[in-house]
Amino acid sequence: MVDPDAAATQRWLMPRGLIVLLGMTGLLVSVLALQQFASILAPVLLALVLVIGVHPLTGILRRRGVPMWLAVTITLVAVLALILGLAAALALSVGRLATILPTYQDRFDQLVDDLRNGLATLGVGRDQIRAVLDQISFGSIASALGGVLAGLASTFSNLLFLLFVVAFMALDAVGFSGRLSRARRQRAEVVGALDTFVHGTRSYLLVSTVFGLIVAAIDTGFLWLVGVPLPLLWGLLAFITNYIPNVGFIVGLVPPALLALLEGGPRLMAVVVVAYSVINFVIQSIIQPKFVSDAVDLSLTLTFLSLVFWSFVIGPLGAVLAIPLTLLAKALLLDVDPSTRWIAGLLVGGSAPPEEADLTPSEPGE
């Protein structure tokens, strides 16, 4: 009879500490490698998420009797139209912003003079005033206004490559279900993990899109009402940054708040900041994370850490794709292996249900 302790000793021939060290080293090397290929990897991952999100359209059309070739064509056109529409909207918005910013130069100079006089009234010395004003320039504000849009627009810098990847993935997706069915008979756990990733990604995209449309509509109407220029642009920005977990509303707040400062002064800027904080913080940072956590079954802490990690790895697009990429990593590293699946159970959101054994009444005499 085999001694269980002896079997366990033979199983762990390598010290656990060394295994952890090697694992951390492998993670570091993988992250550095991903950073080197971020310019190629980011469009591929974006294309993967887009195809996963739109692919159910093919099934819906097929169930309505549409021929396969036409259903695939409509799905592909929908994805390409989405990409081209976002790229064109961001390009036009950056151009429009660059056009109107020079008209605020005089207004900015007036704000600087008001700040100088206000500091002098408070008894601040000239040297201190000069030190403060040296940190403020119209160019820095213009850079901050365009920086967020430029970062998002850089996602589409390799637009032709992205379009080709999306087209090939969409065409391959036609027969991919059949290949998964054949693979399931031999690698059921691997296919099951991929199914979890796909389902979680679609649920996340659905929840984020619904809340993004709500936030964008409210923000656009509010900015138009108070007279902030380019309200449609900032509504589009609010919709896109809604895919950034937890802190997306802060990214979407900076440009309209600065433009409100140039348009109506500190009072209008304060109104925009307060309104955004009430509207966007409540919806995006309190209500939506609960729905996202339930949809993807990830803890709120993990969703925030995934934002930091993937932004560090592949840049601004990593913030937008943080949740889908975390689901993919979880599926490939944890869900595929029964021996590591318990770790995935520690990462879920919400409260775990009690064990069935705890709910079973004890037998008499026990």
pLDDT tens figures, 95-121: 777 787 778 777 777 777 777 777 667
Q: Name the token pair of 261.
A: 């400062």
Distance CA 256, CA 233 (A): 9
Predicted pLDDT at 78: 86
For the chain, the straight-line distance linking the first and the last C-alpha, in angstroms and rounded, comes to 30
Distance CA 237, CA 231 (A): 10
Residue 334 lies in a domain: yes
Residue 265 lies in a domain: yes
List the alpha helices (DSSP H) in the chain: 4-11, 16-36, 38-54, 56-63, 68-100, 105-121, 126-133, 138-153, 159-172, 176-184, 188-226, 231-241, 248-280, 288-296, 300-314, 316-320, 322-330, 341-345, 356-359
The DSSP H or E segment spanning 325 is helix 322-330
Residue 13 lies in a domain: no
Distance CA 190, CA 54 (A): 23
Residue 205 lies in a domain: yes
**Domain span at residue 341?**
186-349
pTM of the model: 0.75
Predicted pLDDT at 224: 92
Residue 148 lies in a domain: no
Residue 12 lies in a domain: no
Question: Which residues in the chain come in under a pLDDT of 50?
Answer: 1-2, 8-9, 351-366
Residue 118 lies in a domain: no
Please state the domain count of the chain.
1
Sequence letter at residue 82: L
DSSP letter at 355 equals P
Residue 219 lies in a domain: yes
Give the residue from 48, 41, 342, 335 showing the smallest Cα distance to 194.
335
